[in-house]
């Protein structure tokens, strides 16, 4: 715990953050992205989008990753929104 406290803060960098209408869609996005090799991870839904709880998908902000994400989830789910935020 002491070492963790001494660790310098991880710098927040721009990411593409995707919100969904349900937790199931967030978990589906994770599964589909892992299958398709799209980098990213699930994070708590940022308060910049809404303070209403939930999960979001965070990934590198480049256009190529965004396109790969949209291709991976197409036909499976419709994202609620895509944002560029510091994560």
Q: Looking at 14, 21, 36, 67, which residue binds other proteins (CB under 8 A)?
A: 21
Shortest Å distance, C-beta 63 to other proteins: 25
Under the binding rule (CB under 8 A), the answer on residue 51 touching other proteins is yes
Cβ count within 10 A of residue 55? 19
Does residue 65 interact with other proteins by CB under 8 A? no
Mark the segment that binds other proteins (CB under 8 A) among 7-15, 53-61, 65-73.
53-61
Coil, strand or helix at 82 = strand
Q: Reading across the β-sheet that carries 41-44, which strands appear in turn?
A: 41-44, 55-59, 14-19, 81-86
Name the token pair of 52.
């209403």
Burial class from Cβ neighbours inside 10 Å (0-12, 13-18, 19+) for residue 86 reads exposed
Q: Does 78 bind other proteins (CB under 8 A)?
A: no
Residue 50 engages other proteins in binding (rule: CB under 8 A): yes
Binding site for other proteins (CB under 8 A): 21-28, 30-31, 42-45, 50-55, 77
């Amino acid at each position: 715990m002491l070492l963790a406290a001494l660790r310098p803060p991880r710098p927040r960098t721009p990411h593409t953050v995707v919100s969904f209408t349900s937790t199931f869609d967030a978990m589906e996005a994770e599964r589909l992205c892992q299958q398709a090799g799209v980098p990213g991870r699930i994070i708590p839904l940022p308060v910049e989008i809404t303070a209403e709880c939930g999960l979001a998908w965070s990934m590198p902000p480049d256009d190529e990753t965004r396109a790969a994400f949209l291709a991976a989830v197409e036909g499976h789910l419709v994202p609620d929104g895509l944002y560029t935020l510091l994560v």
